[in-house]
Every structure is written in structure tokens, then in C-alpha cells.
Amino acid sequence: MNRMDVCQGQIGDCWFLAAAASLTLYPHLLSKVVPGGQSFQAADYAGIFHFQFWQYGQWVDVVVDDLLPTKDNRLLFVRTPTDDEFWMPLLEKAYAKLNGSYEAMNGGYMNEAFVDFTGGIGETIPLKTPNPKLFKTIEAVLNKNSLMGAYINVINASDREAQTSQGLVKGHTYSITGIHKLYFNDRQVRLLRLRNPWGHREWNGRWSDNSPLWGAVAPELREKLHVQRRDGEFWMQLIDFIQYFDVLEICHFNADAPGEGVSSRWNTDCFQGRWVKGYSAGGRQISQPWDLFWINPQFHVALFEPDEAQLRKQLRKGQEHKAPTCTLLVSLMQKDRRRSKNRGKDFLHISFQIFQIPRQYLQLSSAAHRKEMLPALRPVCPPYNGSSRDVTGYFQLPPGDYLIIPSTLSPFEEADFTLRIFTEKKHQFLEIDEEISVEGKVLQVMKAPQIGSDQDLEEIFLKYAGQDQQVGPAELQAILNQNATKIPYLKMEGFTVEECQRLIQHFNLGSRSDKLTLQMFQHLCASLQEWERIFRIYDVDRSGTMNMHEMRLALEAAGFHLNKPTMEAFMKKYSNPWLQIDFKRFVFFMEHLKSVFCMCKSRDTSGSGVLNMTEKEWMELATDY
């Protein structure tokens, strides 16, 4: 297997093919993606082949049969120069299966394939930004057996795959396979070796295959470097590379990369998350009252120690050296979007922001307090964003506490994501979420409401109570619906008998009675008045309903603290299809929660105030009650 085996077919997956061509330069990497012991020999052949790709934190085995797309008895997509070699077409088919179809591979970035081949870290370097260390960077990357490629930006759709007068193809990914420094006219010339995955169409400028400059090179060196054939591979001087190409893509290896020759200096963490409409999809940060940036997932990263190289510089230079820093790499990936391309869903525009935070922020107990404090936090960099699968940023930051917030461009855009963190020294990485708890005031017996006197409330009760001095579901329905019509803003349809029976059950927790005494009725009225007060405050748009983020703030004001999974489960139980909760549903939500925490309190036989249970046990208790 070698890089000359890769010749592009009738699909725009040059980004994948260029990455595959680079992969052949490193057998220890290739053997992980294309496991050995597979062939068409009778002893081994079973009609299927195995390939392995890294996907969002784990290696995935993909099995394909050997039926390949053809037209007129010729391979339709990638092919090799010979007619009896099929590892590359089979690899392409396996990657197409991983992503849902061949069509899904049409258009992409080489780093996406690099990461899937190695589990490494993608880095994008703009070439039009002055970078005196560029050649050293490329040299170091190649010495570490990392993968690399480049492309020319496309401004207009009509320019895609258009050929320049220099023989280069716009919007097309070239792999970088080698470097060399030679002396020409007493000056050092730095050369890069590139390859077009088409297997033809080459650079025709300085140091190209037909360039007369090769005539001035020593014969033995010319024989080693200069090969005149139409194979898509060519040499290019660094200054020409910078002039004509726009973006360099590099994939650094981490501990997930296969092979004995790969070592990692990174401490890594990986988190699988979701942006969910109404719950955690807040969009980018905007300076408007309706900014929902605060509902996005939030992650705390604690950097404890500076890098070793930074400490050595400080020891060597003393006060002249700036304060030592820590290397932090952040990689945000949107999951499985390529599989949805055939349904009209392309990659979302995703981004992440990093803020330096005081310890005070981590000690805040509620989302409401974090919402208030977030606009005042200092970002350490502009937002890192893009419409590709992966968005990666490299930072040098002093030790301290940092907040990472991943988001989509607009609110309510849904997607799964993987967030990876890489540091040289040890770090702490945690999602910031609520601790499930309830404030003591909620479980205390509420006083009778302040609307009128206790005597008036007692008269209403006795008007509907029977000889047993209690009211059942039908009587409670009459009382509640008579008063509900007096609050038109809440847009209540009225309570049914079944709903009133549920309310009685909440207030008769632990009892089999289906009726309310006067004292219980007073407590119910006190609760309803409190829920109405909170509902009025947090229904900010006065719509008569509350959405998810209004509900989070209302719950905290009432004294309930729920983590995201619990909140999502309750919203699904009580909200309408538009994720809205009217006042009646709000009442049942709050009474349900109060009953659940009362049950928890009854199970706390030690009186410690803490109850230990698994997540599954908690969700069953909370939602099935």
C-alpha cells in the first residue's frame, strides 16, 4: 500500500483521499485502519473486509462486502493504477458506510479524515497570516509522523475544482508528504513535496517536474528527488506554497493514536453532550435582553501547573520571561451530521468561547446567579467557530479556572457534540450542572393565603364540604374553577375531576384518603397562591405560558434545584409539543416535585439531609411517581 495507489473517481472526496494517501506513509497507523490478514486468497477470503475508524472517543469496526460501484466495468469512485488492487476502494466504501452514503463524502476537510484515522487533534493554520516558523512547524510535524495537507480557498461555487494557470486546483486538498532543504545559487531553498490525489494535474512553476532549475542540482540529489512522471506528486518552494495555498491542515497525535511509534504528551478528557431545543441550545452570545447563551452546556477547566518548557524558560531568563503558561487544546466536534446530508442537513455553524472565571462563579448554586454573572466574565480569546465538523483552538493560558461554553450559531439548533480537552500537565474538567436538592422552605407547611381572612377561606370550604367536614375531587373542582375564572391572564381552561383527584393525592401523601380536610385545603390554597406569584414573575413575555429557560429560573426561585437530565424528563412530562407550560401544568409540576422530595425526606432515616441512589433509581422515583 502506498500513496500512488490513490486516484480520485467521480465524487468530491479529495479531502478523504488526500488523507488516505498521507496515511500510507506511516505503516503503524495504516495497519490500525486497515487491519492485516485480509486478502482475496482462498484461505483468508470470506467476501467481507474489516476497517477501523476513530469516532467521537472510541474505535469503531466497520465491515463491508467487496461489491464495488462500477460503470462500464470500471470503478466509479476511487481506483488504483493497477486493475488487481482494491484496498483503497474498499476503504472508501467502509468510510462511506460509516457516514451513511457515498454522497455524504462529497466535500469536506482533510483534518476530518485525519482525526478519524488516528483519534488525533486537528489544527488549521491560515497561510496568509505571516508565520516565520512555518517551515520549522512543517518539519517538526513530519518528524513526529503526523499527517498534513493544504488547499486553496474557493470564493465562488463556479471556482470549485477550477485549475489555475500554475496547474493547481482550487478547493482541492493536496497531501504534504515530505520536505527538503538544498542550496541553489549559494542560497538555501526550502522545498515541500505535495501530491494531488487525482494522480495527475501538477504544479508547473518553480521546482515542478519540468522546471529547468533541476539542471543546476547535483546529479545524485536530482536522481533522489526529481522524478519526472505524471503521478500527481511534485516539489514546490515554500514561498510559492504560501503564495498560492490558503490553508494548512495538521493532525497531531494523542494517546488514542495507534502504533508503537506514537507517543503522547497530552492529558486528555472527552465529554459527549447535546444541544437540545428549549433545554441547552442557546446559540451564540449576543448583547440583548433575550440572550440565551447562558443555557448552553458549561464546562469548568482548572489548569494547575505551567508547562515544563515554560518553567525552564523562566528559570533561564528570570524576570525577563513573562509568567509561565499552560498549553490548552480544545476540540469541539458536531456528531453524525455528515450522515444527515442526504436529508438536507449539513454541518451547523458551531463555536466555543473560553472565559477566565473567579472561584466565586464555581460556588454559585443556581443557574439564575450564573446567568447574571456571565456577561461580566472576561473572554480569553474571540469565539472559535466554523461550519466544519471540528473546531479546534490552541491556547497558552496562565494557571487558573476557565469556563468553556460550546454553542451553535443560533438558538434552538439541535445536535450532539463531543468536546475534548488536551493539556500537557494534569487538569480538572467537569460539566457545571445543578446539584439535585430542595430548599427547606419548600417542605415546610405553608401558612394560609393572605387573600382575605381565614374565616372567609373556611366559609368557602364549608360551603362545599359534606357532613364529614371534607371535600372530595368534585367539590375541589367546583372551588378551583370558580376562582380560576377570576385570573384571565393565566388562560386556564379549568381543572378536571381527575386533576383534582391528583392534587388531593399530592396533599394526602402517605394517606389513602381521597378527600381534603380544612387544614389540608388551606395548605393547598397557600401553595396555589405561591405558585401563581412565581409564575407571574417568571413568565417574562406575559404569554400565559413558560418555556424551558423561564421554568429553570422559576424552579430555582421556588427552591427546587434540578440537573439537566431531570429537568428535561419533567419538561417532557408536563410541557406541550412546543415545550411550553401553562399555569395548570405548572401547578402539577411543582406539586409533583414537592411530593417527590417529601418522599426522599421520609427515606432519609439518618436525618443527614442526603440520600444516595443511582441515576436510574432517581429518575424512576422522580418521573414515575
Please list the residues that pair with 74 across neighbouring strands.
71
List for the chain the helix, strand, coil content (%; round to 5): 35, 25, 40
Determine phi and psi for 5, rounding to 5 degrees.
-80, -5
Give the Cα separation of 618 and 621 in Å (integer): 5
List the one residue out of 256, 249, 248, 252 whose CA is nearest residue 33: 256
The beta-strand segments (E) located in 209-335 are: 233-237, 247-252, 267-275, 299-303, 326-334
Nearest residue to 406 (alpha-carbon basis) of 422, 393, 425: 393
Residue type at 163? Q
**Residue located via cell numbers 377570576:** 486
Cα separations in angstroms, 530 against 129, 525, 583, 590, 595? 60, 9, 12, 10, 16
Helices (H), 291-358: 308-317
Find cell 465538523 and name the residue: 389
CA distances from 381 to 126, 248, 338, 384, 403 (A): 17, 21, 29, 8, 12
Q: Distance between CA 565 and CA 571 in Å, rounded?
A: 10
Look at the block and give the residue holding cell 494523542. 254
Residue 30 grid coordinates: 495504516
Phi, psi (degrees; rounded to nearest 5) at 333: -125, 130
Residue 479 has a CB neighbour count (10 Å cut-off) of 20
Strands (E), 209-324: 233-237, 247-252, 267-275, 299-303
* 63 C-beta neighbours (distance < 10 Å), count: 10
Half-sphere exposure of 37 (CA within 13 A, CB side): 3
Question: Could you tell me which of 292, 392, 291, 412 has the C-alpha nearest to residue 351?
Answer: 392
* Residues belonging to the active site: 14, 172, 196
Tell me the sheet residues that pair with 79: 7
